Amino acid sequence: MEWWKDEIIYQIYPRSFQDSNGDGIGDIPGIISRLDHLQELGVGAIWLGPVYRSPNADNGYDISDYMDINPEYGTMADMEELIAEAKARGIRILMDLVINHTSTDHHWFRRSRDKNSPYADYYIWAKGDDRGHLPNNWTGFFGEDCWEYDPERCEYYLHLFAKSQADLNYRNPAVLEEVKDILRFWLDKGVAGFRCDVINLLWKDSLDNGKRKLALTGLEHYCSLEGTHEILRELRKVLDEYGAYTVGETVFVTPETARDLCAPERKELDAVFSFEHMECDQYFIKWFKRKFRPKVFFDCLVKWQRELDWNSLYLENHDQPRSIPRFGSREHWKESGKLLALLLLTLRGTPFIYQGQEIGMLDFDFTRMRQLNDVESKNVDRVLRRFHIPRKLRWKIVSRTSRDNARTPFQWDAGPNGGFTTGRPWLGVNHNCAEINLASQEDDPDSIWSWYKDLCALRKEREVLRRGDFEALETGDQVFAYRRALGEERMTVVLNFSDRPAQVGYTGSLVRSNYPREGFDGALRPWEGVLLEDGR
Ligand code: TEU
Ligand code: CA
């Protein structure tokens, strides 16, 4: 039963959702205390960010024990209670499956440093040459080299991400068997599936030198290779024993390579997170921003709607800056926040709402590097410093794109620390929590929160919005229009992504607008979106 074609999934970044014990760190009991919020929103599943034992070099994406819970987040009993309490509310739990790499604190890695141990080949080790050169010219995702010398083994190990995130070696069949055990462990506990971290990078073919690129040299040796597809088909056999859902985070996918990963007949993944629509406001790499181009964004969304029968839909996550400043308008905060919600919840696919998106949370209000936590942001600042970029310009480059923009604690109310913690928060709470918080929106029928709740309910009520076909009507420089159709049901969505009004020729009976209005006469106000029935 493809439940994920009828449900909306909510992403929780556990460190920043709700603290329950005053240590300033979000935790599992805190999540349990907020499940009623998620049930009221109307989501059918939670993608829970990594809560496994971890030294937190990358806030849990550096795992040292896949079958134990980070004590900062709680206990295994807490995790089992979360699964049960969520289930009691009709909410499934998806775990974050991070199997491209482990923490160098994992016992597999520690023992892999001894060439004679049974774990010697769990990771990708290589000799440099005796002049101190690295095994090849590949570069990593976090702005640093991707080879680290280990003085005990006297060899280098590969890490495409932080140096404490060592890439696993899937040429070793024992690694695949370990991963199958991890899947069974969590599926036996009742989770409904997994979000799979950088899952299209698992198989590295040769370690030959890669082509020099502006960033990420060597991709051709490890991105979406046939070996990875074989691994995914093997893992799918275990997942199918449980009817589990998988959505893969897949860097650099195109619709073609995405289909090879998630078309049903491939029996690999059920969906992927693509990145192309999140690259419409950058030059080549995300640190070099450009003005957001709505038409490029619309055309990209239309391409992916046309080329994949089904996929995930998202505008925010824990790696991306917030969507209103990026694709909407701070000046029209409420209208554009609602407009983006109307887009997300009326396209075809499985919508993902990231914590805080439902109340219009914005980027952090930090002013200096020492307030940041993110390893990627710190590495990039170090690289820029090596190129003698002045501090002010470094801060401008890093702060616009830093992943910490979406990692500030959830703003529950206007009280101290936005109601997130009674202690000192691990990452600063945005001072705008006085104005932007759930408590101030819950009883306001015109709030972004009320709008999300209403649209989630409407999507559940109207099958045409979940299962209907998609037809693009217009992708202009400011207006995006499309139609959903199922049997006799037709709904037209018309979105004005601009500070300027727009006049359009679509007709139909008004179902929703993010502005108060009676009927629809074709005149769209700034950042207005309308949903029409029997649109023409
Ligand atoms: O992210 C993979 C990844 O490539 C992103 O970091 C991306 O490069 C960029 O930050 C967004 O454009 C996954 C996790 O989502 C991320 O949090 C982890 O840091 C990373 O893998 C390593 O596990
Ligand atoms: Ca806590």
Handedness of CA 416, 421, 426, 429 (dihedral sign): negative
> Average pLDDT for residues 192-213, to the nearest whole number?
95
Q: Distance between CA atoms of 2 and 280, rounded to whole angstroms?
A: 31
Q: Look up the CATH number of the domain holding residue 476.
A: 2.60.40.1180
Contact criterion met (CB below 8 Å) for 205 and 138: no
In ligand 1, the atom with minimum distance to the C-alpha of 275 is: 12
Question: Residues 43, 45, 50, CA angle at the centre, nearest 5°?
Answer: 130
Is a pLDDT exceeding 60 seen at residue 7?
yes
Q: Which residues are registered as beta bridge partners of 351?
A: 313
Q: Which range marks the domain in which residue 491 is found?
A: 467-533
> Average pLDDT for residues 317-325, to the nearest whole number?
98
The number of residues in the chain equals 536
Q: Kindly state whether residue 341 falls inside one of the protein's structural domains.
A: no
> Average pLDDT for residues 216-221, to the nearest whole number?
94
> Average pLDDT for residues 48-71, to the nearest whole number?
98
Q: Kindly state whether residue 287 falls inside one of the protein's structural domains.
A: no
Q: Kindly state whether residue 526 falls inside one of the protein's structural domains.
A: yes
Q: Distance between CA atoms of 256 and 424, rounded to whole angstroms?
A: 47
Helix (H, G, I), strand (E, B) or coil at 452: helix
Q: Kindly state whether residue 142 falls inside one of the protein's structural domains.
A: no
Q: Which tens digits make up the pLDDT trace of 166-185?
A: 999 999 999 999 999 999 99
Q: Distance between CA atoms of 455 and 436, rounded to whole angstroms?
A: 20
Phi, psi (5° rounding) for residue 20? Answer: -115, -15
| pLDDT, averaged across the chain | 97
Q: Kindly state whether residue 218 falls inside one of the protein's structural domains.
A: no
The first and second tokens of residue 290, run together, are 């450009």
Phi, psi (5° rounding) for residue 500? Answer: -95, 150
| Number of independent structural domains in the chain | 1
Q: Kindly state whether residue 521 falls inside one of the protein's structural domains.
A: yes
> Average pLDDT for residues 452-475, to the nearest whole number?
98
Q: Kindly state whether residue 505 falls inside one of the protein's structural domains.
A: yes
- Predicted confidence at residue 344, as pLDDT, reads 99
- Predicted confidence at residue 215, as pLDDT, reads 84
Q: In 195-251, where does DSSP find H-type helix?
A: 226-242
Cα–ligand 1 centroid distance for 41 (angstroms): 27
Q: Kindly state whether residue 73 falls inside one of the protein's structural domains.
A: no
Helix (H, G, I), strand (E, B) or coil at 248: strand
Q: How confident is the model at residue 1 (pLDDT cuts 50, 70, 90)?
A: confident
Nearest Cα neighbor of 430 from 409, 452, 446, 449 is 409
Cα–ligand 1 centroid distance for 6 (angstroms): 27
Query: Taking the model in full, what pTM does it have?
Result: 0.98
Q: How confident is the model at residue 341 (pLDDT cuts 50, 70, 90)?
A: very high
- Predicted confidence at residue 535, as pLDDT, reads 54
Helix (H, G, I), strand (E, B) or coil at 240: helix
- Predicted confidence at residue 536, as pLDDT, reads 52
Q: How confident is the model at residue 322 (pLDDT cuts 50, 70, 90)?
A: very high
Q: Which residues are catalytic?
A: 197, 249
For ligand 1, which residues put their CB under 6 angstroms from it?
58, 61, 98, 141, 161, 197-198, 249, 251, 286, 318-319, 376, 403
- Predicted confidence at residue 310, as pLDDT, reads 97
Phi, psi (5° rounding) for residue 79? Answer: -65, -45
Q: Which tens digits make up the pLDDT trace of 234-287?
A: 999 999 999 999 999 999 999 999 999 999 999 999 999 999 999 999 998 999
